[in-house]
Structure 1
């Protein structure tokens, strides 16, 4: 049975903009302003978040625009803004204050799911997770696996098996603060899985005691797809270890497959696609950008960030949004 979705004219619009954050926040439809890296000039406002990932090139601000005038506020550690149809929310959990990454993730997800489910925009569509040293630790003690444990504990009651699209990337700044932000809406989206990949929540035990809880994508309307973090994984296995070019091509093949599966108009990357690309080694960014510009010459927007991928052998990950070009 299909889930109800927002109408095409009631969508959050995502973009990369160079205007000062203070000027953007004066515009009534601005739902969120997200800056990247330590040098981003950002005011204190519930709609503003500084993400602890450094841009590899001159960075723009990521701007979310709603469909009506926005109001905003804070609820304890959680900041939020809403246009009545959509909700931006963000929470930062200091690991030391909570006793480690498991408890920090459990706290963040329990807090955000309780807040979201209790309001008029109860449907989680998209989540981003950024944590330091994501690959530190061996076996089940790896920090990413421990984060997955805490995330599942925190969101179990609210999510069931209907998971939002999501990204999890490692900060490289040594700051042990878990950052989680996301988008919820009055109407549910439709989760999309990639036929080239095993659904993340069905990963076998070799990847940890708790499988990652996210969908490969979320269609918010007939014309818009929110794309989860995507890498060179086929089935459930990583491909092309230590081969950057091959990993880029496999990642793009996965993105192409996901867009076809979502059955959105213009089901290929292009002018309606806004991408964030994460590279483990900042020196690889030029190769990745050249490949993307070659494959998608009319790409709508690209932001390159230095960040660790959730599997040690993976060198690159890409997420974003796609909307049928007007």
Structure 2
């Protein structure tokens, strides 16, 4: 895949994924809940250049850019500093590029729900992300996902998709915008848009979406009901973006499932509710302890 023309990035999931030193290759420390997990590949219609800037890996072609960082939190005082360093490094690199419009970000960190109150790790990550962003997203946040992994506990993975043209941010009328969450969700509110319409208007990059209505989690300890609420939120996002209802075979999704024991039921329900839609089920912790499933992905026109 890396040898094929136009390959911008290739992602392998879990401990069984191959290893490669190409800057376009990234291991994601999330185990697949159905074996074997497929690789995810990003392609562009044209030549691709790639390289490294210190710990940062990147590739670019045809107006698109992939960039990633994998950091060891033990090299920093705490997760907040690690997250700030990751976002500072990515921001400093992106601002120098023609492809400086960040459309989509992914964040994977260990033990995302450890700690209580303001020192819960997800809340510390949000603080560090906010510190590292500075004024980079003063005109609006990109779409994003943040999920807890069960791999090396100190491993922080952040990667992005950027373009030489801006996208259009999309919010969900059923949900409070994340950056407007009340204080109880942390000293720094989560900094992301619910979705991002890509520049040509032919695709929607969907942020991590769960059973949140307004700003409150719904259906505690009921994975079936949480999945239905999540699907309702996805439909609301499509409508808000002016896209047709539903997903199809060209709309790949990821389902992050907190409890591996829930996976067979979640997969069964997804196959029933989204027939033919490619869904990659991964073992990952959602940013709130009470949330059992989250979905992100792409919707193409």
TM-score tier (shorter): over 0.9
TM-score, with structure 2 as normaliser: 0.97
Give the alignment partner of residue 242 of structure 2, picking from 243, 263, 274.
263
Maintained 8 Å contact 1:67/1:85 = no
Shift in Å, 1:174 = 4.1
- Counterpart position of 1:37: 14
Give the alignment partner of residue 45 of structure 2, picking from 47, 53, 67.
67
Maintained 8 Å contact 1:53/1:171 = yes
Q: Report the Cα distance in structure 2 between the residues aligned to 1:244 and 1:161, rounded to whole angstroms.
A: 36
Q: Structure 1 86/310 Cα, relative in aligned 2: closer, same or farther at 3 Å?
A: same
Shift in Å, 1:108 = 0.1
- Say whether residues 1:315 and 2:292 are aligned partners: yes
Give the alignment partner of residue 221 of structure 2, picking from 242, 260, 285.
242
User: Which structure 1 residue ranges, 4+ long, deviate > 3 Å from structure 2?
Assistant: none
Give the alignment partner of residue 162 of structure 1, picking from 107, 116, 140.
140
Maintained 8 Å contact 1:276/1:304 = yes
Maintained 8 Å contact 1:133/1:174 = no
Shift in Å, 1:284 = 1.1
Match of 1:119, SS state, is coil
Match of 1:105, SS state, is helix
Shift in Å, 1:206 = 0.7
Match of 2:136, SS state, is helix
Maintained 8 Å contact 1:260/1:268 = no
- Say whether residues 1:176 and 2:154 are aligned partners: yes
- Aligned pairs for 1:173-212 within 5 A: 173-212=151-190
Q: Report the Cα distance in structure 2 between the residues aligned to 1:194 and 1:290, rounded to whole angstroms.
A: 26
Maintained 8 Å contact 1:280/1:307 = yes
Q: Report the Cα distance in structure 1 between the residues aligned to 2:201 and 2:14, rounded to whole angstroms.
A: 34
Q: What's the Cα RMSD here?
A: 0.9
Q: Report the Cα distance in structure 2 between the residues aligned to 1:223 and 1:74, rounded to whole angstroms.
A: 31
- Counterpart position of 1:135: 113
Q: Report the Cα distance in structure 2 between the residues aligned to 1:259 and 1:272, rounded to whole angstroms.
A: 15
Q: Report the Cα distance in structure 1 between the residues aligned to 2:155 and 2:45, rounded to whole angstroms.
A: 32
Residues 269-302 of structure 1, C-alpha deviations (whole Å, 9 max, x = no match): 2223110000011111111111111111121x11
Match of 1:314, SS state, is coil
Match of 1:158, SS state, is coil
After alignment, is 173-182 or 275-284 more displaced?
Answer: 173-182
Shift in Å, 1:93 = 1.6
Q: Report the Cα distance in structure 1 between the residues aligned to 2:79 and 2:62, rounded to whole angstroms.
A: 33
Q: Report the Cα distance in structure 1 between the residues aligned to 2:193 and 2:180, rounded to whole angstroms.
A: 11
Shift in Å, 1:161 = 4.6
Gapped regions of structure 2 (runs ≥ 5): none
TM-score, with structure 1 as normaliser: 0.90
- Counterpart position of 2:253: 275
Shift in Å, 1:109 = 0.1
- Say whether residues 1:305 and 2:253 are aligned partners: no
The number of residues matched between the two structures is 299
Q: Report the Cα distance in structure 2 between the residues aligned to 1:174 and 1:303, rounded to whole angstroms.
A: 21
Q: Report the Cα distance in structure 2 between the residues aligned to 1:26 and 1:283, rounded to whole angstroms.
A: 38
- Say whether residues 1:252 and 2:212 are aligned partners: no
Shift in Å, 1:67 = 2.3
Gapped regions of structure 1 (runs ≥ 5): 1-23
Q: Report the Cα distance in structure 1 between the residues aligned to 2:151 and 2:96, rounded to whole angstroms.
A: 34
- Say whether residues 1:51 and 2:28 are aligned partners: yes
Residues 164-191 of structure 1, C-alpha deviations (whole Å, 9 max, x = no match): 0000000112421110011000000000
Q: Report the Cα distance in structure 2 between the residues aligned to 1:158 and 1:256, rounded to whole angstroms.
A: 30
